[in-house]
């Protein structure tokens, strides 16, 4: 196996996730060398970025040593797909023996007794967990700031947010702290931070990736998917997440570089939030859209204007479904005051909302999904910017300006203004979860200030491979 000299360590940084996987599987690199490299990057960069809440270096090195022993004892053909690959889990995911904070100071942070479904799936595929990444409280917001740890900052500009709720994971990938990472997406939580941090972020369609039981997600909004620096790396992680019987022949990675046939792509700026919030689309977002459109047309796809009409009852219904889980969260009454203002407000409203009202909201969202998918049906893919605005400054949504310091106890916060700003920032995200469709954020543009901007493509059911192929083709262009 390779040595762990500084020269070798710097070589690891230049590898894509696919190249790193191949080096680990082939014995050119040990799992301990890989884990040691990424842990050293975390140690040097996390103090500035706040991407990690918890770093589990000792556990990681022990798991890496066990992986190296398995490699020495066995045949390459017997190794799991992601043998020895370091990554991290967002701190909404249970990892055995590690506290799950859910980004909340109101919870007791006890070690999880066992792995959650996502961690169990990826550990079975051979990954080495380096720790837990920063999230908003209960994953509720489009930014990753809470009362537990410093905010997750954008590697492209430390004064700006990395997005949410998979913000810590996106920052970690973009900063080279991990080669790729799984995120979870219930209303944009993979695509928003991918757009903010210049990554490929894929939200698979409903049911493709096993999610385990979740009593707090009655609308079945949440799905796990990859955050990666390129389409091939995202395809590799998706191969690890999806059961064999649901994958295309040859897997996602084996097919990702095959160009998709000419597609009918419908461009729209319509949003189901527009009836409530009259948001403005920044020039940088439109620049990204125009760049993406030009690239798609040059690749041979037919791009036209798609007009989509959304039911104006959507915002109220989605909010009821989105916040229902936090209403039932087990929080001791004496610890309620430790919740962030937004969480506290939406928890109170959820508890006051009758079960019948929630049922009405869920029924409406099912009809909304049917109607929206019908409007998308003339097109193979729907195109829009990932975000309506450039990545926002730290503290911008809450107007607290805390910059990583503890939130001032005298500040009550304005939950409705916070929520409004989030919906204006990411107005094209949540309806995709309601529809259960796959969608991908692809970086295509860099602003004059060096901030990445992306486009979102929404595909038909079962089109995850096609979306990854489009992303790979845009990278090549």
Catalytic residue set: 90, 165, 189
Phi/psi at 380 (5° precision): -75, -35
336-to-92, 327, 329 alpha-carbon distances in Å: 19, 12, 11
Give the integer Cα–Cα distance in Å for 377 and 96. Answer: 43
CA dihedral angle for residue 429, residue 223, residue 451, residue 395, rounded to 10 degrees:
80
Cα–Cα nearest to 34, from 128, 168, 124: 128
* Beta-bridge partner residues of 54: 132
- In the block, tokens 């913000």 appear at 167
Write the DSSP assignment of 13-58 as a string of letters: HT--HHHHHHHHHHTSS-HHHHHHHHHHHHHHHHHHH--EEEE-HH
* Beta-bridge partner residues of 367: none
* Beta-bridge partner residues of 267: 305, 383
The two structure tokens encoding residue 425: 């920032």
DSSP SS3 for 158: strand
């Amino acid at each position: 196996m390779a040595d762990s000299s500084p020269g070798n360590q710097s070589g690891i940084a230049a590898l894509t996730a696919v190249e790193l996987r191949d080096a680990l599987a082939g014995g050119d690199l040990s799992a301990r060398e890989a884990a040691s490299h990424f842990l050293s990057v975390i140690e040097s960069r996390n103090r500035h970025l706040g991407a990690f809440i918890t770093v589990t270096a000792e556990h990681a090195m022990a798991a890496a040593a066990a992986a190296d022993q398995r490699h020495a004892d066995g045949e390459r053909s017997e190794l799991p797909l992601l043998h020895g690959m370091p990554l991290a889990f967002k701190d909404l995911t249970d990892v055995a023996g590690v506290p799950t904070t859910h980004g909340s100071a109101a919870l007791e942070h006890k070690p999880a007794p066992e792995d959650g479904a996502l961690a169990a799936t990826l550990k079975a595929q051979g990954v080495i967990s380096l720790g837990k990444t920063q999230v908003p409280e209960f994953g509720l917001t489009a930014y990753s700031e809470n009362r537990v740890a410093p905010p997750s900052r954008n590697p492209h500009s430390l004064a700006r947010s990395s997005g949410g709720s998979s913000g810590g994971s996106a920052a970690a990938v973009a900063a080279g702290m991990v080669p790729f990472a799984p995120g979870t997406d219930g209303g944009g939580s993979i695509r928003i931070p991918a757009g903010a941090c210049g990554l490929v972020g894929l939200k698979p369609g409903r049911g493709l990736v096993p999610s385990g039981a979740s009593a707090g997600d009655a609308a079945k909004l949440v799905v796990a998917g990859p955050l990666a620096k390129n389409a091939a790396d995202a395809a590799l992680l998706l191969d690890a997440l999806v059961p064999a019987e649901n994958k295309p022949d040859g897997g996602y990675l084996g097919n990702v570089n095959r160009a998709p046939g000419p597609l009918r792509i419908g461009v729209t700026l319509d949003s189901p939030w527009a009836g409530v919030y009259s948001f403005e689309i920044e020039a940088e977002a439109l620049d990204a859209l125009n760049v993406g459109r030009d690239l798609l047309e040059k690749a041979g796809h037919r791009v036209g204007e798609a007009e989509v009409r959304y039911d104006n009852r959507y915002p109220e219904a989605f909010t009821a479904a989105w916040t229902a889980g936090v209403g039932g969260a087990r929080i001791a009454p004496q610890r309620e005051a430790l919740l962030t203002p937004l969480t506290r407000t939406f928890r109170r409203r959820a508890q006051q909302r009758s079960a019948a009202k929630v049922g009405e909201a869920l029924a409406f969202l099912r009809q909304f999904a049917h109607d929206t998918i019908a409007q998308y049906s003339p097109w193979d893919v729907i195109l829009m910017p990932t975000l309506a605005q450039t990545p926002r400054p730290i503290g911008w949504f809450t107007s607290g300006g805390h910059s990583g310091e503890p939130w001032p106890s005298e500040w009550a916060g304005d939950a409705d203004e916070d929520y409004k700003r989030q919906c204006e920032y990411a107005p094209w995200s949540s309806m995709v979860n309601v529809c259960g469709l796959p969608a991908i954020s692809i970086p295509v543009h860099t602003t004059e200030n060096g901030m990445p901007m992306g486009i979102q493509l929404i595909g038909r059911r079962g089109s995850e491979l096609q979306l990854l192929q489009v992303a790979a083709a845009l990278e090549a262009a």
